[in-house]
Amino acid sequence: MANGKKQKNMAYIKSVRNHTPEVGEGTFVAETAVLIGDVTVGKDSSLWYNVVLRGDVNKITIGDRTNIQDGTVIHTLYDKSPKPSQTHIGNDVSVGHNATIHGAIIEDNCLIGMGATILDNAVVASGCIIAANALVLSNSKLEPNSVYAGVPAKKVKEVTPEQRETIIQRIANDYRLYASWYEEEKKLKKIQSYEIQTTTQIPYRVVYISGIGYQSDCQLLVYVADGGKSVGRN
């Protein structure tokens, strides 16, 4: 996959500038996700459909148990530009559908709402909730355990312990569950594929038997493995 070719039912993973994306154990990567260049994803995370992690010009890291939901785009500023930026997303973070994160730092246990935009060198402190469609401007330094909303995003209230448990932690836990469903399906397909390959590798010869309960002009095909054991019929 390092050459950028997409195989059937696999994400598009491409090396750029001698960097190849790395994905941790237990992480679900959807078939239409795109990972390019200097990208590192931790354990038990999930990258959903049409997610783009474009680490071609600078580094992108994603922690453990973090979900990046459908349609999200993550990029950076060039490492040789006057003010470069990297994207670092911590552990147990949920990034909602169609969000854009460009060269920002998002600390642990945050929720980024659907359609939100986080710009270069902004820092979203631990425990924050960013409302849907909010715009966090470049170089912003957000307070921990706070809710931000609007364009540009402003603090509207504190995150309560109850919100932390029922919103931030619940969504992160839910997405680990959702990802497990897809991983189970992949494992089942691998087992089925192995069984088919094993069957087709058995040497066989074909014996034609006329009649046998069929009309006189029909034939029954019996596949007989070497050694005389029947392995199937149609």
Question: What angle (nearest 5°) sits at the alpha carbon of residue 96, between those of residues 94 and 101?
Answer: 90
The pLDDT score that the predictor gives to residue 6 is: 54
The band of 215, judged by pLDDT with boundaries at 50, 70 and 90, is very low
A 10 A CB-CB count for 159 gives 19
Mean of pLDDT over the chain: 83
Q: Is the pLDDT of residue 206 over 60?
A: no
The pLDDT score that the predictor gives to residue 184 is: 80
In 3D space, the residue among 91, 77, 86 whose CA is nearest the CA of residue 105 turns out to be: 86
Higher pLDDT, 160 or 224: 160
First-to-last CA distance in the chain?
Answer: 39
Q: What's the CA gap between 187 and 180, in Å, rounded? A: 11
The pLDDT score that the predictor gives to residue 192 is: 54
Digit-coded pLDDT (tens) for 76-133: 999 999 999 999 999 999 999 999 999 999 999 999 999 999 999 999 999 999 999 9
Q: Mean of the pLDDT values across residues 177-192? A: 75
Higher pLDDT, 199 or 39: 39
The CATH 2.160.10.10 domain(s) of the chain lie at 12-166
Q: Read off the DSSP letter of residue 139.
A: T
Q: Is the pLDDT of residue 214 over 80?
A: no
The answer to whether the beta carbons of residues 93 and 74 sit under 8 Å apart is no
| Helix, strand, coil % over all residues of the chain, rounded to 5 | 15, 35, 45
Residue whose token pair is 């170089």:
139
**Top-level CATH class of 12-166?**
mainly beta
Digit-coded pLDDT (tens) for 3-22: 565 545 589 999 999 999 99
